[in-house]
Chain A
Amino acid sequence: MLIAIFLAIGTLCLVLQTTLLHGLPAWMGQPDLLFLLIVFAATHLDLFRGAVLSLLLGLLMDIFSGIFLGLYPLTYLLVFFVLKGSTRHLAFTDTLHQIPLIVISYLFANAAIYIITTVLAPEAVLSWGWGNMFQQVIIMSVTCIPCCSIFRWLQTRMTPGGNSSFLSLGSRPSNRFKG
């Protein structure tokens, strides 16, 4: 059920990214909402659900972007497993803590796309623009705060006995030493 709901949200994000967000002014960039969902899945969902969700979202992204089928499922799964492994013992569940995680993982994902595309089509010369990349990173950092709050709110709503507070920006995990 959780996967279905997050898949529906991912589809909605993708539709927004391919239509309405293109109408934003150039200086605002185009926030990659789908990528935020992948990062959220890596830090908040269990291994099986997160991997399935990343795979499905990657397949969806393949339809609307690029010409190499399989590029996005591969990249998203790679990002998911790297994040899952690296944040296993770290407290990255707080929204504000996720900002550096999103910045690093976004650069990692783009590097992966760049390398894979260069391998698949050596004749295609992709240009890595740092200016554009920094702009995207800033946009993603700003966008992740409301987006992750919404995702977490939805997750807690779907989880039995979860806290249904929407503004969980500064919320902390429950005291494990209590009682």
Chain B
Amino acid sequence: MRKKGKRTRQLKALFLFGLILTLVLMLIVSTVGRQEFNTPHKLALEVLGRAQSGASSVGGFFKTFWHNYSTLIGIREENERLKEELRKYKAATTRYREAVATNVRLTKLLELKETLPPPTLTAQIIGKDPSQWFKTLIIDRGSSDGVENGMPAVTVEGIVGQVVNTSPHYAKLLLANDPNSALDAVIQKSRIQGIIKGNGNDFDLYYVLKNAEVAQGDEVVTSGLGTVFPKGLMIGTVTNVTKNRRGMFQNITVTPAVDFSQLEQVIIVMKKASLAE
């Protein structure tokens, strides 16, 4: 029995030795031999390759995610930069348009100034009447510039009003459409005279006899009488003519040539100092 157990142990040791020797020989043969993967190599590669593939996929996902994220940050910054540039260009375009509009307006004012009796003065409107009952404006020219009460104010489109109060550097204008304003006028085509009075929005032409021929679309200009406004300045266009049964005169509504809500600059027609002064 003891011999049999000893023999079994010897056989096991021999088997183990043979197995190791075989593996070593296989390794040596494969290394020195054809340089190709054997089955265990392939098996190991298959297993580890799958793991690598999975890891690479996960890494690639994160890498792509990070790349996209960092690109997005870059795009956002670029977007902000482009928006800022766009804002700058828009502002520049607005300034350019404003400059062109101002140029056109001032050119027209200059052309008008040349047709008006000298001297004239250009004034900027800086304030408007806050009440709903009166139509006045504040301009940035005053008595130190030679502005006096009663001086007329005009624009390219037509008459605006006249100066009613002054301080050294500012003055108050009463608009022609104020109910307290009145001026001599003449219908340009027929030379019929009347008095233009404001009604808060438009003008009413008073004291035109019923037998006078007045039609819609007739243009009304200053008559030059009253010595406040120069002759021939545009006042507005006749838009409504009514002849009542009673009374001597017609009811005539005149739409102003000037848009009083859009005024920015006016020309003050200065009075010439008389020789007596």
Contacts and interface: CB of A to CB of B under 8 A. Distances in A.
B258 to A, nearest CB: 17
**Chain A interface residue number, banded:** 20 to 34
B200 A66 contact: no
B126 A65 contact: no
Contacts of A136: 132
Contacts of A61: 130-131
A66 B179 CA distance: 11
Which of B126, B133, B178, B200 has the most chain A CB atoms inside 10 A of its CB?
B133
B128 A67 contact: no
**Chain B interface residue number, banded:** 20 to 34
Contacts of A5: none
B153 interface: no
Interface string A75-96: 0000000000000000000000
Which of A17, A63, A65 has the most chain B CB atoms inside 10 A of its CB?
A65
Contacts of A67: 134, 136, 164-165, 174, 178, 180
Interface string B24-41: 000000000000000000
Interface string B145-180: 000000000000000000011000000101000111
Nearest to A135: B132
Contact of A114 (B128, B133, B172, B180): B133
Nearest to A118: B179
B138 A64 contact: yes
A18 B138 contact: yes
21 contacts: A14-B130, A18-B128, A18-B129, A18-B138, A19-B128, A34-B130, A63-B165, A63-B172, A64-B136, A65-B134, A66-B131, A66-B136, A67-B164, A114-B133, A124-B179, A126-B133, A126-B179, A127-B179, A127-B199, A127-B200, A136-B132
Interface of A: 14-15, 17-19, 21-22, 30, 32, 34, 61, 63-67, 110, 113-114, 117, 121, 123-127, 132, 136
Given A19-B128, A65-B136, 17 more contacts: A14-B130, A18-B130, A22-B128, A30-B132, A32-B131, A34-B130, A66-B129, A66-B133, A67-B136, A67-B178, A67-B180, A110-B133, A113-B133, A117-B133, A125-B179, A127-B179, A127-B200
